[in-house]
Amino acid sequence: MAWVILILSGVFEAVWATALGMSHGFTILAPTIVFLVAMAISMVGLGWALKRIPVGTAYAVWTGIGSALTVIYAMASGNEPFSVLKAVFITAIIACVVTLKLIKDPVSDKKGHER
């Protein structure tokens, strides 16, 4: 469940990042409200996931998902030019995020120390 919450939090990171750009420095109300709500949801979800996933892994996944989706949306909407190299490197980010999920961490105690 923690991974599902973390992935959804990454999606909301992309939402708030996109809304931030659309708010033009918080001068347009609707995207500013979307930014605030999405950021709150994203942070709460990340915080919850950190109870079960190590901070380094969780943060890398959260930012990877958020940045990849933000660029994909910007290219799909025409706000950023598409390039094959961008697509290759965004695919690499997504592959790295998936790989982080697949890596098995050593068993640790509640303080994060390996047993």
pLDDT band at 115 (very low <50, low <70, confident <90, very high): very low
Return the higher-pLDDT residue of 114 and 55.
Answer: 55
Round to whole Å and give the CA distance between 114 and 109: 6
Burial of residue 37 (CB within 10 Å: 0-12, 13-18, 19+) is middle
By the 8 A CB rule, do 13 and 65 touch? yes
> What pLDDT, in 10s, does the model give residues 38-61?
999 999 999 999 999 999 999 999
Residue 107: pLDDT above 70?
A: no
